[in-house]
Amino acid sequence: MNQFKIFEQESFRHGVTTRLGGISNPPYDTMNTSFYGQDDKQHVMTNIKRSLDTLGMTAKTIVATAQVHSTTILSINKAFDFSALRRFDTSHTALDGYDLYIAEKTDGLITNRTDVILMTFYADCVPIILYDPITGTAATVHSGWRGTKNRIGQIAIESMCSQFGARVQAIRAGIGQSAGKCCYEVDFPVIEAFEKNYPKTLLSGAVFPKDYGKYHLDLKWLNSQLLQMNGILPQHIEVNSDCTICGIEKYHSHRRAAGGARGTMSALIQCGL
């Protein structure tokens, strides 16, 4: 389990799982937290329960994203109607007694509620966790190359401020393990797409041309810059430098699995503890 020091003093619990500490068998070994794939449901629910217990999370309602590389972010406020979401059956598993809801076609979640756990999923894409200690508002965001290009981190900040009264100067941010600039290779059309949404001067710090016609892209740095462009103070941002592609002993990687079966990591947050 990875955690950010920047949130240590906050009344907020959080973590980003690794591939370690679970019970799933290969190729999902061992800490697979995705119940969308072919892995044994009992194993996945036990893995999630272990993660919640490790983090001391006590809420019995979980909202998890079904991600589509969009910029759609769901806000779960005090009046939120959970019956609008699909419920995933956890009976006769380690999560028996929990309400597990799926936010369809959604890539980020925000709440100020203390009775809800939010969950987003990763296997190379960038996890961003945001927390405003003044209003007690937290967000977890899935930012792959499409999400980063379309500035989902900015949209999360704007929603925290406009819908929950957060102040950007107070927001703390953790950027988690993901594909690193050492390994994350893309083709020119991806770079071209970024050039439409980011200043070229900024991109020069994130794009590294290779002599064989490919590019390495530093998504973590770009997300960190995006947060700062939107007013988050540099001293309030913590970045985990680990690369999921070359860190295969500790992390699940979509690229490393060549698109095949693999486990999935998750970011978990709960306010108010």
Q: Determine if 85 is a binding residue for Zn ion (CB under 5 A).
A: no
Smaller CB distance to Zn ion: residue 75 or 178? 178
Between strands 116-122 and 12-16, the pairing is unpaired
Minimum separation from the CB atom of position 182 to Zn ion (A): 4
Q: Which is nearer to Zn ion, 182 or 203 (CB)?
A: 182
Position 180 contacts Zn ion (CB under 5 A): yes
How are beta strands 99-104 and 86-88 bridged, if at all?
antiparallel
Q: Which two tokens stand for residue 72?
A: 């759609």
Q: Does the protein bind Zn ion through residue 186 (CB under 5 A)?
A: no
Q: Which stretch binds Zn ion (CB under 5 A): 12-20, 203-211, 216-224, 245-253?
A: 245-253
Q: Which is nearer to Zn ion, 143 or 244 (CB)?
A: 244
Query: Judged by CB under 5 A, does residue 62 bind Zn ion?
Result: no
Tokens of 169: 């100067």
CB 207 within 8 A of CB 148: no
Residue in 193, 223, 189, 219 with CA at minimum distance from that of residue 207: 219
Nearest approach, Cβ of residue 245 and Zn ion (Å): 5
Question: Nearer to Zn ion by C-beta: 22 or 247?
Answer: 247
Of the residues 63, 245, 268, 269, which one makes contact with Zn ion according to CB under 5 A: 245
Computed over its alpha carbons, how large is the radius of gyration of the chain?
18
Buried b (16+ CB within 10 A) or exposed e, 236-266: bbbbbebbbbebeeebbbbbbeeeeebbbbb
In Å, how far from its chain's centre is CA 19?
15
> Is-contact 29 257, C-beta < 8 A?
no
Q: What's the sign of the alpha-carbon dihedral 105, 237, 149, 163?
A: positive
Four-residue CA torsion sign, 173, 179, 183, 187 = negative
Give me the least distance between CB of 32 and Zn ion, in Å please.
Answer: 21
Work out how close the CB of 247 gets to Zn ion at its nearest, in angstroms, rounded to a whole number: 7
Which residues make Cβ contacts (< 8 Å) with residue 106, sequence separation at least 6? 65, 66, 67, 68, 70, 72, 73, 74
183 binds Zn ion (CB under 5 A): yes
Q: Which of 128, 156, 243, 271 binds Zn ion (CB under 5 A)?
A: 243
Only one of the segments 27-35, 151-159, 195-203, 235-243 lies at the binding site for Zn ion (rule: CB under 5 A); that segment is 235-243
Among 1, 23, 102, 182, binds Zn ion (CB under 5 A): 182
* Residue span binding Zn ion (CB under 5 A) among the ranges 3-11, 95-103, 226-234, 241-249: 241-249
Query: Does 246 interact with Zn ion (rule: CB under 5 A)?
Result: yes
Q: Which residues in this chain contact Zn ion in the complex, by CB under 5 A? A: 180, 182-183, 243, 245-246
